[in-house]
């Protein structure tokens, strides 16, 4: 992915860990033709391709290219109080949210919509989520059935049965995520997949690190759990005891969890097992009963991403007391649903996850919170309206042309690689040729007919929507054993992002990212290739990063490299790891070069491919714009895409958990490895702070 959101406990991420038209529905778009309604127009057609006023030319480009290009913008743009960071993804996302808000509010206000039609579901989900008075009045009332089921647990078998019920709500994942995904070694077929979960902190190392910041985070987390228990009616002493129980049990799970670097490893996380093999791994868990309880008893094989975690979970099922499991499950339920409950729960959840972990000063306005939740569950249905109203088909045409040029450039780079043998080159070229590129929106829309929305409560609509996703979503269990649907998208069209999927050998560019400054129809080619061209190249290169390279042209996890080529590749990536390990994001806090390796390879490869693709279109461009040559503007266009202000708390969380490097290093970590950069900015000399000698620049792709 070009971008991954910060840790949000209520969002399902497991199905996209590695990485995750059109038949229009007539009754959905009728509302756009209602007399008197006019779509909100907040297009940004007047956006400058590049504004020199956002630069800080007092900084020499060889000392800090990121600040040289973006220093003026950084100085002028403070972080709004309801945000953890402020950058172009946030700005474009805000603009897109306003458009989507208009569409959803029209659906909400359309009283003539047929009940249970998709338009009605979109409108009702939003309007009930916006009904703060009802949500406040209801409190935890809508969850009483689930709370009673937890309270009535008396045996270990009950623990499993109730935990499975919570699991089927999709957003809770008390122990692990359970979903369908392409089988990495048979990528034409979907397989059931288990992925470790059960932690309330962003990552397993939060429980294990001994530094002062981590210790303080654990203290804050225990206070948070205590406060939530009190809100549920526990006495202070019982709530404190419960919080210690939660911390102890989650720490035990954390000790058995894979690290975030291990979770990136496509080989290490592939363990296809029969049901009997899984039963042998964790005999304390009734796997047959679990499959029956989720409604899919015919599942015969499961890919267990982290077997050590499942083995320890089984031991915990047997050794932890029933009372402690009741405390644990109650916490998982209330923690996952707090953002959809009355203000005291929502505020407490925000205070820890938003403020303590990420420095956010205040919550986003309610409409944005509800819209974000609705996009998670009904995003593709809303996306149909978004495409109709806001997407310019010419953007898709232009993107297809740029993709074609990027493939040509990548092909030429592969052919001329000096470190790769011909046998491997042939297979790499075949993979590039076979790579599927999806732009704008899916060719087939997801079917939401079985999604149930009701007028009872916001939280129950969220849980019902989660249940629908668990069973029928893009990773729903109803797809296990069936052929992979290559028309499936894993993000809605309005998403401001891009992503790759190894098992499909496919890359995706939603309509949402085809806006300035990423893609600007009014900009010169240099700016566009530096921006969206680098995004295209980034996703292409993911197919050849340290994990993507392990998949062949059909998306199968297999070794298609010669031993010497693999050694050459690893030697170069080790250099890149060493470079990023030295980047200091905050005093004493350094980038994790292994965690971010895939994205760093994609950033470097993507910008390189975009440069040569640009030269296919403008081989002899000599005209200067704003005093900059075309090659210089190429690098300026790329750098402006990553300008950002970010709170220290959010930056710390990102460095510790996110496979993407902080924005500054997505520029300075890349350009000083590229000989093309030194040709464009000839005043960058060996005496400059970030100059990198030629023999220290790794050549990967």
DSSP 664: H
Say what the pLDDT of residue 4 is: 62
Inform me whether the pLDDT recorded for 431 exceeds 70.
Answer: yes
Tell me: the pLDDT tens digits for 611-637? 999 999 876 767 899 999 999 999 999
Flag the least confident range among 124-138, 152-166, 295-309, 610-624.
Answer: 610-624
Instruction: Kindly report the backbone phi and psi dihedral angles of residue 302, in degrees, each rounded to the nearest multiple of 5, phi listed first.
Output: -140, 135
Cα angle: 334, vertex 336, 340; to 5 degrees = 85
Q: For strand 272-274 and strand 436-440, is the pairing parallel, antiparallel, or unpaired? A: unpaired
Q: Are the C-beta atoms of 297 and 288 separated by less than 8 Å?
A: yes
Q: Which domains does the chain have, with CATH numbers?
A: 14-36+39-100+370-444+485-696 (3.40.390.10), 142-339 (1.10.1380.10)
Q: What is the pTM of this model?
A: 0.93
Give the integer Cα–Cα distance in Å for 98 and 96: 5
Say what the pLDDT of residue 46 is: 62
Flag the least confident range among 76-85, 265-274, 393-402.
Answer: 393-402
Nearest to 535 by CA among 527, 345, 452: 527
Strand, coil or helix: 628:
strand
Nearest to 126 by CA among 343, 375, 448: 375
Instruction: Kindly state the percentage of the chain with pLDDT values over 90.
Output: 92
Inform me whether the pLDDT recorded for 131 exceeds 90.
Answer: yes
Exposure pattern of 512-544 as b/e (b: 16+ CB <10 Å)?
bbbbbbbbbeebbbbbbbbbbbbbbbbbbbbbb
The mean pLDDT value of the chain amounts to 93
Tell me: the pLDDT tens digits for 433-464? 999 999 999 999 999 999 999 999 999 999 99
Say what the pLDDT of residue 1 is: 83
* Partners of 625 in the β-ladder: 628
Residue 3 — pLDDT band, cuts 50, 70, 90? Answer: confident
Give the integer Cα–Cα distance in Å for 303 and 310: 12
Sheet holding 436-440, edge to edge: 436-440, 506-510, 499-501
């Amino acid at each position: 992915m070009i971008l991954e959101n910060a840790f949000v406990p209520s969002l399902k991420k497991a199905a996209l860990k590695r990485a995750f038209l059109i038949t229009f529905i007539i009754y959905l778009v009728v509302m756009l033709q209602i007399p008197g309604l006019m779509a909100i127009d907040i297009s940004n057609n007047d956006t400058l391709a590049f504004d020199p006023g956002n630069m800080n030319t007092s900084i020499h480009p060889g000392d800090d290219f990121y600040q040289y290009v973006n220093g003026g913008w950084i100085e002028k743009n403070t972080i709004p109080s309801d945000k953890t960071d402020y950058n172009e993804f946030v700005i474009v996302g805000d603009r897109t949210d306003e458009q989507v808000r208009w569409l959803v509010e029209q659906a909400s206000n359309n009283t003539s919509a047929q009940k249970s039609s998709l338009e009605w579901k979109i409108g009702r989900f939003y309007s009930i989520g916006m009904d703060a008075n009802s949500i406040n009045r209801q409190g935890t009332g809508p969850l009483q059935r689930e709370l009673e089921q937890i309270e009535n647990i008396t045996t270990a078998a009950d623990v499993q049965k109730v935990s499975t019920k919570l699991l089927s709500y999709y957003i809770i994942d008390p122990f692990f995520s359970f979903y369908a995904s392409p089988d990495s070694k048979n990528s034409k077929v979907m397989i059931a997949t288990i992925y470790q979960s059960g932690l309330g902190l962003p990552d397993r190392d939060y429980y294990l690190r001994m530094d002062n910041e981590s210790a303080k985070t654990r203290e804050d987390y225990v206070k948070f759990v205590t406060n939530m228990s009190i809100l549920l009616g526990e006495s202070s002493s019982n709530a404190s005891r419960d919080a210690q129980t939660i911390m102890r049990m989650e720490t035990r799970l954390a000790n058995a969890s894979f690290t975030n670097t291990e979770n990136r490893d496509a080989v290490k996380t592939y363990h296809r097992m029969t049901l009997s093999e899984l039963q042998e791994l964790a005999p304390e868990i009734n796997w047959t009963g679990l499959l029956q309880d989720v409604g899919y008893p015919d599942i015969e094989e499961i890919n267990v991403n982290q077997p050590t975690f499942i083995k320890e979970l089984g031991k915990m099922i047997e050794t932890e007391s029933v009372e402690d499991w009741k405390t644990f499950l109650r916490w998982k339920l209330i923690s996952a649903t707090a953002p959809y409950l009355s203000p005291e729960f929502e505020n407490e959840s925000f205070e820890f996850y938003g403020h303590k972990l990420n420095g956010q000063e205040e919550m986003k306005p309610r409409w944005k919170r509800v819209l974000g939740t609705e996009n998670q569950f009904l995003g593709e249905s809303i996306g149909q309206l978004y495409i109709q109203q806001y997407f310019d088909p010419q953007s898709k045409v232009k993107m297809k042309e740029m993709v074609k040029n990027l493939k040509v450039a990548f092909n030429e780079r592969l052919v001329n690689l000096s470190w790769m043998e011909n046998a491997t080159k042939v297979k790499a070229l075949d993979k590039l040729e076979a790579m599927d590129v999806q732009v704008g929106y899916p060719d087939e829309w997801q079917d939401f007919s079985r999604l149930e929305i009701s007028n009872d409560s916001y939280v129950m609509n969220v849980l019902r929507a989660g249940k629908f996703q668990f069973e029928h979503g893009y990773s729903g269990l109803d797809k296990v054993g069936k052929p992979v649907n290559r028309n499936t998208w894993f993000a809605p069209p309005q998403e401001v992002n891009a992503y790759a999927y190894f098992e499909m050998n496919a890359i995706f560019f939603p309509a949402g990212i085809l806006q300035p400054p990423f893609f600007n129809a009014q900009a010169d080619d240099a700016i566009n290739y530096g921006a969206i061209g680098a995004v295209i190249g980034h996703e292409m290169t993911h197919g050849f990063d340290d994990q993507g390279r392990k998949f062949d042209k059909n998306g199968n996890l297999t070794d298609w490299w010669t031993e010497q080529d693999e050694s050459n590749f690893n030697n170069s990536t080790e250099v890149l790891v060493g470079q990023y390990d030295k980047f200091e994001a905050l005093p004493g806090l350094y980038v994790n070069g292994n965690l971010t390796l895939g994205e760093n390879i994609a950033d470097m490869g993507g910008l390189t491919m975009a440069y040569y693709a640009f030269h296919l279109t403008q081989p002899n461009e000599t005209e200067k714009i704003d005093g900059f040559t075309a090659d210089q503007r190429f690098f300026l266009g790329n750098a402006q895409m990553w300008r950002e202000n970010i709170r220290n708390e959010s930056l710390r969380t990102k460095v510790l958990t996110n496979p993407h490097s902080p924005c500054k290093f997505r520029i300075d970590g890349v350009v000083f490895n590229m000989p093309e950069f030194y040709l464009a900015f000839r005043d960058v000399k060996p005496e400059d702070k970030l100059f990198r000698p030629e023999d220290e620049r790794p050549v990967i792709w």
